[in-house]
Chain A
Amino acid sequence: MEALNRFFKLKENGTDVRTEVIAGITTFMTMAYIIFVQPFILKNAGMDEGAVMVATCVSSAIATILMGLWARYPIALAPGMGENFFFAFTVVLGMRMNWEQALAAVLISGILFLIISFLRVRHMLIEAIPDSIKYAIGAGIGIFIAFIGMKDMGLIIRNDAPDAIIMLGPIKQLPVVLGIIGLILTIALMVRRMKGAILIGIIFTYILFLLFGWVNFPTGGGQTLVSAPPSLAPVFFKFDFTNFFTLNFLVVVIIFLFMDLFDTTGTLIAVGARAGLLKDGKLERATPAFASDAIGTVAGACLGTSTVTSYIESAAGVESGGRTGLTSIVTAIFFLLAMFFAPIVKTIGGGFPLCIGGSAEPICNINPILGPALVAVGAMMASALRKVDWDDYTVSIPAFLILITIPLTFSITDGLGIGFVALAILKLVKPDKDKPRPWLIYILGLLFILRFALLPLT
């Protein structure tokens, strides 16, 4: 105990072991949904669920321990929501890379991030993009996540009528109704400020589906509730660099890098400020914090999961008193323990076909157990909308385009592309007074124009 106190300076930070342990558990509860969500998302990219789950737990634990011991922040890390959607839905499903190539891109972006975290370039890169655009990216991805959540719930479906596009799903079908009940419970818990509202929401929805016989408890087929962690082998060190020298790869690496950079900066500043780590507008030990985040991404890519980043949910632990790295250590231990629950994770992520009108022919496949969690996470991410400068058209129009086209093109790259091209054009027509020309924005705009121009050929 005394050693802990000395190492983490608990007393100096006005905290104690008990408080830190509770804070660590709180943070874990609020972010544990990622253990279910990550395998479910990356499964869409064709990756093995069990292996991704283990990779997620191990990489989260490694990065969080590093953050706890090196930067001594009460901040936990895990594969980021947004980055994982980009990985599966845009890079693999949309841009047609295989997941091994996508992992390679994550690795490269992590290495670049690591280098940057030791250099002053970090500030330049972050400051080159207007704040409004950064917030719009976060909010747009939030809407995208909620959109996919609603689609997974069967709440939004394709409308196959001529010239139509999408519509409300068949809300009288039992799985859709159960999903809606799950969503209502989840948001009711959030409103009541229950810790771990999203996790409880997932479990509640899971139990609902168990009760109505839509999913089976993982005891059949020789499986048990708890088991030894599955093998990491199917996803461990599976890099494929074959398309390294393509424009697509470059664009993907840049987007991964920027997403990680913005997420990390935002989270470290937001959570760090609440933990009292922001002094005179500067974060203490910022370099080790950024480096831990970057190493997490590299470790995650090696282990077989998408970009590991600092979680804003760490704020829950900080609010309950967590101030030092000990909080993180506790969270990391729980991530390691979670590996033994793979059978449950697998059932929860399984989907089933949705049929309407007595037809045996399904209209689509849905995964309503995790849908409510995605909608809730999306809603939290959308709060960034407030920070967009809606009065300045040069940023508000690109921000708006990013915000709506990320979900509507169903592609983070396409949405970012449309927004950055608009931003480059508008900043060319009306550059900021008394400021140097925003060359980085022009270059990004050009890069995206190139990508759009080459798109139909590939």
Chain B
Amino acid sequence: MEALNRFFKLKENGTDVRTEVIAGITTFMTMAYIIFVQPFILSKAGMPPDAVMVATCLSSALTTILMALWARYPIALAPGMGENFFFAFTVVLVMGLTWQQALASVFIAGAVFTVISFTKMRHALVEALPDSIKYAMGAGIGIFIAFIGMKDMGLIVRDNAADAVIKMGPLNALPVILGVIGLALTAILMVRRVKGAILIGIVFTYILFLLFKLISFTTVGGQALVSLPPSVAPVFMKFDFSQFFTLKFLLVTIIFIYMDVFDTTGTLIAVAGRAGFLKDGKLERATQAFATDAIGTSLGACLGTSSVQSFVESAAGVESGGRTGLTGIVVAIFFLLAMFFNPIVKTIGGGVQIPQVPSITALGSEQNVFNINPILGPALVVVGAMMASALKRVDWDDNTLAIPAFLIIIGIPLTFSITDGLGMGFIALAILKLVKPDVGKPRPWVIYILGVLFILNFILRHVW
């Protein structure tokens, strides 16, 4: 105890072991949903969910320990929401890279970010883009995540009528109703500020589906509730650099870098600010914190998961009193323990067998059988709603920013592709900043270059 106190300077920071442990548990509870969500998302990219789950827990634990011991921040890390959607839905499913190539891109992004985090370039990079655009990215991805959540719940379905696109799903189908109940409960818990609302929401929805026998308990098929962690081998060090010299790879890597840098900057400032590490507008031990985050991304890629980064959910632990790295250590221990619960994770991410529910096919469109995964859907909708709060920070009065921001916000969900949505917004931004550059400022070359890159990307992908 005394050693802990000395190393983490608990007393100096006005905290004690008990407070730190509770803070660690709180933070873990609020972010544990990623253990369920990450394998589910990356399995859409064709990755084996078992191995991804272990990679997720391991990389989260290792980077959180690094953050705790080196930067001594009460901040936990895990694969970021947004980056994982970009990885699976855009890079692999839309742009056609393999997941091995996508992991290679994440690895490079992490390596570049690591270099950046030790230099002044970090500021230059963050400041090159207008704040409105950064917030719009976060909000647009939030809406995208919620959209996918609603699609997974069966709440939004494709409309196959002539000239139609999408519509509300069959609200009289049992799995949809149960998902809606799960969403209502999750939202209620959030409103009542229950710690771990999202995790409890997932577990509650899971139990609902168990009760109505839409999924079976994991013991079927010889599996136990708890088991030894599966092997990480299927995804470990599986890089494929064969696309390295393509525009696609370059663009994806740039987007990964930007997403990671922005998210990390935002999270560190927000959470560390609340923990009292922001002094005179500067973060204490900022380099260590950024470097940890950056190293985590490369480490995650080696282990086989998408960009690892600081989680804004760490604010929950800070609010309950966590002030030092000890909080992080506690979180990391729980991430390691979580590896033994893979059987549950698997059922929750497994989705519902639609043939058991004829009403969906009856009310949905004729030729379509929908696959839905309603257990995690409510969690995604709520996470999306939290990310959308960035909307308030967009400068809606300046049309040179508001219009590109709007295109990003709606383009990302509606094209169902983060790259395409960003492309629309960045091209518009480049054109508008060309037509009406800021008075008294140097020309925004980074924006022009990004605009050209995105135009090239559209031409290469869609025209030739």
Contacts and interface: CB of A to CB of B under 8 A. Distances in A.
A187 B389 contact: no
A89 to B, nearest CB: 10
Contacts of B409: 143, 382
B399 interface: yes
Given A146-B410, A167-B415, A452 B389 contact: no
A356 B432 CA distance: 30
B396 A382 contact: yes
Contact of B396 (A166, A385, A452): A385
Contacts of A379: 402-403, 406-407
Contacts of B417: 167-168
B271 to A, nearest CB: 16
B167 interface: yes
B159 A405 contact: no
Contact of A429 (B164, B172, B188): B188
B156 A408 contact: yes
A166 B436 contact: no
Interface string B402-436: 11001101100111110010000000100110011
A430 B191 contact: yes
A150 interface: yes
Interface string B228-267: 0000000000000000000000000000000000000000
A382 B406 contact: yes
The interface centre, meaning the residue of A364, A376, A386 with most chain B CB atoms within 10 A of its CB, is A386
A165 B463 contact: no
B392 A429 contact: no
B197 to A, nearest CB: 10
B166 A165 contact: yes
B312 interface: no
B388 A426 contact: no
A409 interface: yes
B170 A456 contact: yes
Given A365-B163, A382-B406, A426 B191 contact: yes
A80 interface: no
A383 B396 contact: yes
Interface stretch (B10-18, B28-36, B146-154, B218-226): B146-154
B167 A166 contact: no
B146 A400 contact: yes
Chain B binding surface, main DSSP class = helix
Interface in A173-189: 184, 187-188
B134 to A, nearest CB: 16
Given A393-B191, A426-B191, A146 B171 contact: no
What's the dominant secondary structure at chain A's contact region?
A: helix
Nearest to B434: A188
Interface in A146-184: 146-147, 150-151, 156-160, 163-168, 170-172, 184
Given A190-B403, A379-B402, A410-B166, A390 B391 contact: yes
B9 to A, nearest CB: 32
B385 to A, nearest CB: 4
A339 interface: no
Contacts of A376: 403
A159 B409 CA distance: 20
Contacts of A430: 191-192
Interface string A387-426: 0101101101100110111011111001000000010011
B381 to A, nearest CB: 8
B385 A172 contact: no
B426 to A, nearest CB: 13
A164 B158 contact: yes
Given A151-B165, A158-B158, A394 B414 contact: no
A191 interface: yes
Contacts of A400: 146, 384-385, 388
Nearest to B183: A422
A425 B184 contact: yes
Given A151-B165, A188-B435, A425-B188, A378 B406 contact: yes
Contact of A386 (B150, B158, B160, B394): B394
Contacts of B143: 403-404
A448 B16 CA distance: 51
Given A365-B163, A410-B159, A405 B428 contact: no
B188 A408 contact: no
A191 B167 contact: no
A3 interface: no
Contacts of A11: none
B391 A394 contact: no
A403 B171 CA distance: 19
Given A408-B156, A426-B188, A166 B403 contact: no
17 contacts: A143-B409, A158-B158, A163-B371, A187-B431, A191-B436, A364-B162, A364-B163, A365-B163, A382-B406, A404-B384, A408-B147, A409-B155, A410-B165, A414-B168, A425-B187, A426-B188, A456-B170
Given A159-B416, A391-B389, 5 more contacts: A156-B414, A390-B392, A403-B388, A429-B191, A456-B170
Interface of B: 94, 143, 146-147, 150-151, 155-160, 162-168, 170-172, 184, 187-188, 190-192, 363, 370-371, 381-382, 384-385, 388-389, 391-392, 394, 396-397, 399-400, 402-403, 406-407, 409-410, 413-417, 420, 428, 431-432, 435-436, 458, 462-463
Shortest 5 CB-CB contacts between residues of A and residues of B: A390-B389, A383-B396, A409-B168, A456-B172, A400-B385
